[in-house]
Amino acid sequence: MPIKNETSTHFWDEISIISPVARVLACLGFVVTGAAMIAALVMNKSHDPFFRLPILTPMAFVGGCVIACYILLIGYVYADAGRRGMSRLGWTLLAIFVPNALGIVLYFVLRRPRLLHCPQCRTVVEPGFGFCPRCRAPLNAVCPLCQRSVNEADTFCPYCGGDLKSPTQAPAQRA
């Protein structure tokens, strides 16, 4: 029975990699942003209706949420870059200093696939490998004829045309 070498990509599993430090900084950013916007209301002596409490309170909440999400995204970039074998510091600095959150967008566009580990010997393997290069443990379903990775639901190999259900049959000959 082949061992599936897949990684979990559930939302809460991804959120859990954000460090507690980034979470605390996000909470502080939320509170400080809201407090600064409310303080701007108190310090403003003008009678402009735009700067009244019923209008500024939701703006302070939304502004705090935006800052908190930005900090959490930077924390995610830091943790995820290390998990993918990329430079944590380089991508985090890029995410922070490229304006308008374009650094974060660049990270998500250019990031590498997650590193996979052999379930038997824990060696780092490339995605798509059929067997571990160190211990030869099966990682994914492979064609018995050409030894290339195939999906478990496939009936025929997409590379050589071999029958995946009966490993002794040769691929169908074309006329």
Is 166 a domain residue? no
pLDDT tens sequence across 67-124: 999 999 999 999 999 888 899 999 999 999 999 889 999 999 999 888 788 888 888 8
Mean pLDDT for the stretch of residues 133-155: 82
Region 30-57: what's the mean pLDDT? 73
In a domain, 148, yes or no: no
- Asked if the structure places residue 145 within a domain, the reply is no
**What was the pLDDT predicted at 52?**
63
The answer to whether residue 36 is domain-embedded is yes
How many domains does the structure of the chain reveal?
A: 1
Classify residue 162: in a domain, yes or no: no
Full domain range(s) for residue 23: 11-114
* Cα dihedral across residues 76, 15, 22, 83: positive or negative: negative
Looking at the domain assignment, is residue 88 inside a domain? yes
Cα gap 68→167, rounded to integer Å: 55
**Is residue 39 one of the residues assigned to a domain?**
yes
> From start to end of the chain, where are the E strands?
116-117, 124-125
64 belongs to a structural domain: yes
